């Protein structure tokens, strides 16, 4: 009821079936519907546009390869983000960029300290929120993004991240707490 | 916060994952508990203004879009159908080849067996032709057998004719001379 980003699973499955039959329209519908969420998730996780684009391609190519394995009891969105999650994990396993990414994020903090005095435009709010998300611990960040960007329910997040639902909820609470702390530091408090 | 219910149920309530009864109970609680109501309102506000897809989502480049659409728009079943069909063709071709090979081998063996038998017969006849003693004996024996059969047949036929003739005469009240004399 309170779901702010509803996704119609029946429509998705209909489009998915079209795609399976070789109808271009089926894939176009799904891609246009979810590309910004999947890409948003990937870019917030990796912090790099090019890498996120590579991972986005890999995600959809993997979906194409494994289309026959799609479990129809789950939503298409959860399945797709499950693939995106695996691609991200593989990326972090093979390329040790986490430290560099952290360092980049820390360097970026200095450049935005002077913002609170200015009037906050939408663009600034966007940048501040994105930076606050980038500051999160990777596990907290992933739960937060799966919930807020992808709109995946916590039960599915637990399946995707292979953890108990209470762990997913705990990470989400911590993520919210940390983001609020960061936002307050940068002049955004109780929008 | 003195009330812990938001911590326990708030996130699941916001994602619509509570069961109907729990949801109604929590909604009623929010109406009564100012702390939980404030938390709920805050989170709802954050989701709408700060954690929205416009803030956190992002679109890939046109080139990336084009590449993904090019590769993925072909669909999956077409390739699966093709691979299934080619698999079927391969299996059929293998079965047909094995059948043809089996048929040829069996046919060849049967033909060879016939040929061997024919050759054996020919060789036997040739040997007989080459051995004059054996040949003469065989011809003589055959001739004797034939003669014996002919003789036996004629005796048999004569006795039947004689019996018939006599039987018929006896029925008519005429007795052969040889019997009357005796």
Query: In this structure, is residue A28 part of a structural domain?
Result: yes
Based on the fold, state whether residues A77 and A106 are members of the same structural domain.
Answer: no
E runs forming strands in chain A? none
Based on the fold, state whether residues B40 and B17 are members of the same structural domain.
Answer: yes
Are A16 and A26 contacting, i.e. CB atoms less than 8 angstroms apart? yes
Based on the fold, state whether residues A87 and A107 are members of the same structural domain.
Answer: no
Based on the fold, state whether residues A18 and A82 are members of the same structural domain.
Answer: yes
Tell which of B1, B41, B50 to mutate to test the A interface (max A CBs under 10 Å): B50
Based on the fold, state whether residues A69 and A79 are members of the same structural domain.
Answer: yes
Among candidates B23, B57, B80 on the partner chain, residue whose Cβ is nearest the Cβ of A40: B57
Closest-CA residue to A175 (of A157, A148, A152, A155): A148
What DSSP designation does B6 have?
I
CB within 8 Å: B53 and A149: yes
Based on the fold, state whether residues B22 and B53 are members of the same structural domain.
Answer: yes
pLDDT band at B152 (very low <50, low <70, confident <90, very high): confident
Q: Cβ contacts (< 8 Å) between A173 and chain B: which residues?
A: 7, 11
Distance CA A81, CA B7 (A): 26
How distant is the alpha carbon of residue A154 from its chain centre?
Answer: 14
Are A31 and B72 contacting, i.e. CB atoms less than 8 angstroms apart? yes
Based on the fold, state whether residues A79 and A128 are members of the same structural domain.
Answer: no
ipTM, 2 dp: 0.75
Among candidates B11, B71, B80 on the partner chain, residue whose Cβ is nearest the Cβ of A61: B71
Distance CA B71, CA B69 (A): 6
Give A140-154 pLDDT, tens digit per residue. 999 999 999 999 999
B34 burial (CB, 10 Å; 0-12 / 13-18 / 19+) is exposed
Are B17 and A165 contacting, i.e. CB atoms less than 8 angstroms apart? no
Based on the fold, state whether residues A82 and A117 are members of the same structural domain.
Answer: no
Query: In this structure, is residue B119 part of a structural domain?
Result: yes
Q: How far is CA B135 from CA B5, B117, B130, in A?
A: 121, 22, 8
CA angle A91, B55, A93 (to 5 degrees): 10
Distance CA A136, CA A102 (A): 10
Based on the fold, state whether residues B123 and B151 are members of the same structural domain.
Answer: no
Q: Cβ contacts (< 8 Å) between A188 and chain B: which residues?
A: 50
Give the pLDDT of residue B24.
94
Tell which of B8, B47, B76 to mutate to test the A interface (max A CBs under 10 Å): B76
Give B57-84 pLDDT, tens digit per residue. 889 999 998 888 888 876 665 444 555 6
Range of the structural domain that residue B11 is part of: 5-60
Query: In this structure, is residue B151 part of a structural domain?
Result: yes
Query: In this structure, is residue B83 part of a structural domain?
Result: no
Look at residue A123 and tell me whether its pLDDT is greater than 80. Answer: no
Based on the fold, state whether residues A112 and A183 are members of the same structural domain.
Answer: yes
Please measure the distance between the N-terminal and C-terminal CA atoms of chain B and give it in whole angstroms.
155
Range of the structural domain that residue A118 is part of: 96-191
Nearest CA-CA distance, residue A60 and chain B, Å: 7
Are B49 and A185 contacting, i.e. CB atoms less than 8 angstroms apart? no
How distant is the alpha carbon of residue B56 from its chain centre?
Answer: 58
CATH number for position A71: 1.10.1740.10
Based on the fold, state whether residues A80 and A26 are members of the same structural domain.
Answer: yes
Distance CA B178, CA B114 (A): 63
Distance CA A155, CA B18 (A): 11
Tell which of B21, B73, B83 to mutate to test the A interface (max A CBs under 10 Å): B73
Query: In this structure, is residue A1 part of a structural domain?
Result: no
User: How many domains are contained in chain A?
Assistant: 2
| Domain boundary, last residue among A95, A118, A150 | A95
Residue of B167 and A179 predicted with greater confidence: A179
Q: How far is CA B79 from CA A21, B73, B85, in A?
A: 10, 12, 10
Distance CA B103, CA A92 (A): 60
Distance CA A157, CA A81 (A): 9
Based on the fold, state whether residues A188 and A103 are members of the same structural domain.
Answer: yes
| Domain boundary, last residue among A48, A74, A95 | A95
CB within 8 Å: A4 and B47: yes
Among A59-68, A108-117, B57-66, where is mean pLDDT lowest? A108-117
Q: Cβ contacts (< 8 Å) between A141 and chain B: which residues?
A: none
The chain A residue lying nearest B42, using CA atoms, is: A190
Nearest CA-CA distance, residue A6 and chain B, Å: 10
Distance CA A51, CA B171 (A): 128
CB within 8 Å: A64 and B23: no
User: How many domains are contained in chain B?
Assistant: 3
pTM above 0.90, yes or no: no
Nearest CA-CA distance, residue B20 and chain A, Å: 10
Based on the fold, state whether residues A85 and A169 are members of the same structural domain.
Answer: no
Give A3-42 pLDDT, tens digit per residue. 444 456 778 888 888 888 878 888 888 899 999 999 999 9
Q: Mean per-residue pLDDT for B133-159?
A: 70
| Domain boundary, last residue among A95, A125, A146 | A95
Query: In this structure, is residue A2 part of a structural domain?
Result: no
Based on the fold, state whether residues A90 and A101 are members of the same structural domain.
Answer: no
């Amino acid at each position: 009821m309170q779901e702010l980003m509803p996704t119609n699973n029946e429509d998705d499955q209909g489009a998915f079936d079209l795609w399976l039959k070789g109808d271009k329209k089926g894939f176009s519908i799904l891609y246009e519907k979810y590309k910004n969420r999947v890409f948003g998730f990937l870019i917030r996780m990796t912090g790099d546009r090019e890498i996120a684009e590579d991972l986005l391609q890999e995600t959809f190519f993997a979906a194409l390869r494994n289309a026959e394995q799609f479990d129809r009891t789950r939503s298409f969105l959860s399945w797709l983000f499950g693939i995106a999650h695996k691609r991200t994990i593989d990326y972090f396993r093979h390329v040790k960029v986490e430290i560099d990414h952290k360092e980049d994020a820390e360097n970026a903090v200095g450049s935005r300290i002077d913002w609170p005095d200015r009037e906050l435009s939408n663009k600034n709010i966007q940048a501040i929120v994105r930076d606050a998300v980038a500051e999160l611990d990777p596990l907290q960040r992933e739960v937060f993004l799966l919930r807020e960007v992808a709109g995946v329910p916590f039960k599915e997040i637990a399946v995707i991240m292979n953890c108990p639902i209470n762990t997913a909820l705990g990470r989400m609470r911590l993520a919210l707490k940390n983001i609020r702390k960061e936002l307050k530091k940068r002049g955004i408090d109780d929008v | 916060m003195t009330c812990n219910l938001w911590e326990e149920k708030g996130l699941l309530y916001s994602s619509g994952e509570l069961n109907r009864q729990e949801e109604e109970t929590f909604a009623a609680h929010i109406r009564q508990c100012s702390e939980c109501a404030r938390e709920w309102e805050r989170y709802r506000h954050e989701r709408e203004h700060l954690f929205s897809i416009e803030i956190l989502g992002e679109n890939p480049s046109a080139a990336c879009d084009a590449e993904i659409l090019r590769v993925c728009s072909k669909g999956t079943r077409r390739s699966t159908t093709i691979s299934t069909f080619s698999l079927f063709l391969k299996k059929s071709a293998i079965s047909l080849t094995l059948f043809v090979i089996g048929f040829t081998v069996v046919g060849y063996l049967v033909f060879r067996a016939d040929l061997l038998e024919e050759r054996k017969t020919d060789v036997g006849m040739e040997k007989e032709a080459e051995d004059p003693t054996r040949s003469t004996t065989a011809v003589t024996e055959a001739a004797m057998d034939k003669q014996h059969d002919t003789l036996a047949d004629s005796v048999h036929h004569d006795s039947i004719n004689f019996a018939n003739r006599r039987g018929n005469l006896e029925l008519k009240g005429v007795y052969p001379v040889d019997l009357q004399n005796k």
